[in-house]
A and B are shown apart, each in its own frame.
Chain A
Amino acid sequence: MKKIVHVCLLTALLTGLGTSAFANGAKDRGAEDLVLSEPGTYPLVEEKATLSCFATLSGTMTSFEYEENSFTKVMEDLTNVHIEWKVATEADAETKFNLIIASGDYPDMFMSPKKMETNLTKIQVLGDEGVLTPLESYITEGTNMQEIYNRFPRLKNILTLPDGHIYSMPSLTGAYHAQAQAKMWIYEPWLKALGLDMPETTAEFQAVLRAFKERDPNGNGLADEIPLVASKNNSGWNSQIDTFLMSSFIYNDSSSYGHRRMLLEDGKVVVSYDKPEWREGLRYMKGLYDEGLMASESFTQTKDQLKQMVDGPSQPVVGTVPGGWQGSISQISVDDNVRWKNFVTVPPLEGPAGYRSTPYFADMGLTDRISDLLITTSCDYPELAFRWGDTLYDPDVSMRACWGVEGVNFELLDEDSGIMGVDGDPAKFRVLEQPKGNVGWNNRHPRYLYFADYHSKQADNPDRPIESVLYAETHDKYLPYVPDADSILPLMAFSPEAANEVAELETQLKSYVNEMVARFVIGDADLDADWDDYLDELNNIGLERYVELYQAAVDANM
């Protein structure tokens, strides 16, 4: 009898424990009774305050702590705010973030959660769920963020969600060349060796590939040339086979920001992959494949294997290869590997129907990192947290965080120093020694380093002239062919119900389209006999509904 009573008590105790465990973990907001300094003045508070923050350990960093990280020290000394760090390793930061949200156990701030860099919908959802605190009331005259708004009113429009609130603090960075990321690289010495001009149309491109294959441009007497090769989906930044080539037929933004292959025509959402032009593009690629100009590895190899193909052989073997930058196609981190230096870009090609475009990241610099600081409802002092984040926008602080200590890691330059910047104009500063280790927060925090002011103004590294090449190639060859900014879908938020549906549809559609691109090109599916089945399957998966949902979101955000 006694035993049974004991067991019951234990069960009751455990159940009680369990129930409390499952109760909501969000705290109530305390009263704001901190006195903050005037915007633009430091320290932010007289008595040392403490905030907790979730951050990601990445790159060469090993610690965020005050004693070990010099930038943490800089910030704490300046603002008089101590940070308790909740750290996740980069590889698993996303899982950790989701877990923290799900458990209701959030810190005061989230700094740059993974995979939320451009996810306005998730911010909306978190705001709706009562996880995030609205910030618009703190963005007053004198704060850095207001200054940013004054300069970029478009940003304010983007960040303000349909419910009128702003929940996130973005970073303004980016790079000029990232506006048009879908580049195709060609090994220039081979063009010269064979006396060929840079191709401008798809037909010319095919002829060049043919020449590469047949005329032994590497001069070793072996037919070992690989005219065109790419890497598989989900491996490699813009180094998939269709990204560049399809753009000569119809708009094809398959980058991670886009991955939607859609355009706006007169305000109507139009997808690309069910159109006759898409089929023509596939036909062209199939032609390349059948002629043996496109290596079969293009659908199955990883980006590392791709780079090995380019760098590995003692004689260059690869003729053309798509990639977002030189580092996508070759190892730039190795000092004695200079093969990448001989690759230049091919301009977007004109297709047989006269179409010529390239995927366009219209709001580069504004929307590539919109959630670099989120303040939660667990925070007792949201305005302090906002001001703390705002501090990071201070140009000196931003510079210190990203470029290091002046005089040690970088130096400022005069107009007449004679050193050229990435954009071809006189450079504003030059990197002396790359900051590494615990001297920053690895760029995962709000920064105000708009690319036109900073990234483009740094002196190029003469040993590794990657940036200036990218700038010039993008400027001269790619930007002339981007579509109208109005036709590009803006960054927008879905309603929570729509978001779930869109997620599942998008995953399946993307998977299927990618799968069929491969199968059509290889010949596993027939472009004539199986095309209708392909269209039917798209509808089965729910293409119509998908477009409907997107249209609704576009209309709501306009």
Chain B
Amino acid sequence: MQQIRRAWQLYALFAIPLLIIILFRYLPMYGAQIAFRDYRVAKGILASPWVGGKHFLKFFRSNAFGRVVGNTFGISLYALIASIPFPIILALCVNSTRRKGFRKTLQMVTYAPYFISTVVMAGIILQLLAPRTGLITQAIVGITGETNLNIMADSSVFKSVYVWSEVWQKTGFNSIIYIAILSSVDPSLHEAAVVDGASLLQRIRHIDFPALIPTAVILLILNCGQILNIGFEKVLLLQNSLNLQSSEIISTYVYKIGLASSALNFSYPSAIGLFSSAVGLVMIALVNWVASRLGEESLW
């Protein structure tokens, strides 16, 4: 109790953000029960009939469940792993660049793709991978001599197309936090290392890189929570009948059902969303536990 009194100033700082979180995140959680009810618009949430796990079971039993969850998990995991090293590498590369002008240009250019909207991005991807005229297709044909190459028709490479285009688009932006951290590394550490005769590479390995690890771990843990939450827009634009086996994910599936649905079924997507969240929670807890076991910074 005394501790609380002593820390009152910290509480004062904390009050406003806490209020916002409670009002706008926790209060609405009341409504998550839509997933457990047959939500009837006219009755409102509380008066709608309670059906327990009906919607969840429907999803688990549906034909699409296995494929859709499998694809979502697969793409997510792939994206998660692929996107760890590159922002770090880029940040280290930028930080080690001596010419100020080049460094600024590199940062700016890699930062820009983040702002390309999904629609345009999908259009560019399809253009680059077009069978006859796409630049990437032509490059691959030139190297391997393969004829009639239609990358988007191949469901086994869909995940790669998605993931690497994400890496391309987001790495620059994601490296910013690392660049910021590197810039707050105590230069005296570097000076001391130079005096000890360390090369640039050694300095990066022993000073810069460790500074980034705590944040990298935290970001990894946070990303795990979103594991089943891949947005539907980009995937929907890249989908076609031939790659559907790999490209149908939870959100595109829900989207299509919603479109086709003549009934007002808000409970079903709500249940699916809750399921995705639950899986995310398990993932976070798991990775968080592993991280704390390994002695790294953890979330809780």
Contacts and interface: CB of A to CB of B under 8 A. Distances in A.
A499 B263 contact: yes
Contact of A508 (B31, B46, B63, B242): B63
Interface string B148-162: 101011000000000
A18 interface: yes
B42 A24 contact: yes
Interface stretch (A81-89, A134-142, A150-158, A517-525): A517-525
B44 A22 contact: yes
Contact of B153 (A121, A296, A302, A514): A296
A19 B44 CA distance: 10
A296 B154 CA distance: 12
B105 interface: no
A342 B298 CA distance: 67
Interface residues on A, range: 35 or more
Contacts of B45: 22
A269 interface: no
Interface in B262-299: 262-266, 268
Contacts of B42: 24, 26, 104, 129-131
Interface in B124-172: 126-127, 130-132, 148, 150, 152-153
B132 A232 contact: no
Interface in B25-48: 27, 30-31, 39-47
Contacts, number: 140
Given A22-B31, A119-B262, 9 more contacts: A24-B44, A26-B42, A120-B262, A233-B240, A300-B153, A504-B62, A515-B242, A518-B242, A524-B242
Contacts of B268: 500
A36 interface: no
Contacts of B44: 22-25, 104
A543 to B, nearest CB: 11
A24 B241 contact: no
Contact of B262 (A125, A518, A541): A125
B242 A522 contact: yes
Interface in A1-51: 14, 17-19, 21-26
17 contacts: A102-B264, A104-B42, A122-B264, A125-B262, A234-B239, A297-B130, A297-B132, A301-B126, A494-B262, A500-B263, A506-B260, A515-B242, A515-B244, A515-B245, A518-B240, A518-B241, A518-B242
Nearest to B43: A24
Given A18-B30, A233-B241, A304-B123, A121 B148 contact: no
A507 interface: yes
Q: In this complex, which of B40, B239, B258, B262 has the most chain A Cβ atoms within 10 angstroms of its Cβ? A: B262
A235 B101 CA distance: 44
Contacts of B244: 511, 514-515
B259 interface: yes
B263 A496 contact: yes
A542 interface: yes
B41 A101 contact: yes
A299 interface: yes
Interface in B209-259: 239-245, 248, 253, 256-259
Contacts of A24: 42-44, 47
Among all A-B residue pairs, the 10 with the closest Cβ atoms: A121-B262, A518-B241, A499-B263, A24-B44, A503-B261, A130-B42, A300-B152, A232-B240, A122-B262, A499-B262
Interface in B1-34: 22-23, 27, 30-31
A514 B127 CA distance: 23
B64 interface: yes
A546 to B, nearest CB: 12
Q: In this complex, which of B27, B31, B260, B265 has the most chain A Cβ atoms within 10 angstroms of its Cβ? A: B260
B68 to A, nearest CB: 10
B58 to A, nearest CB: 8
B40 A296 contact: no
A557 to B, nearest CB: 14
A504 B257 contact: yes
A122 B47 CA distance: 22
B265 A500 contact: yes
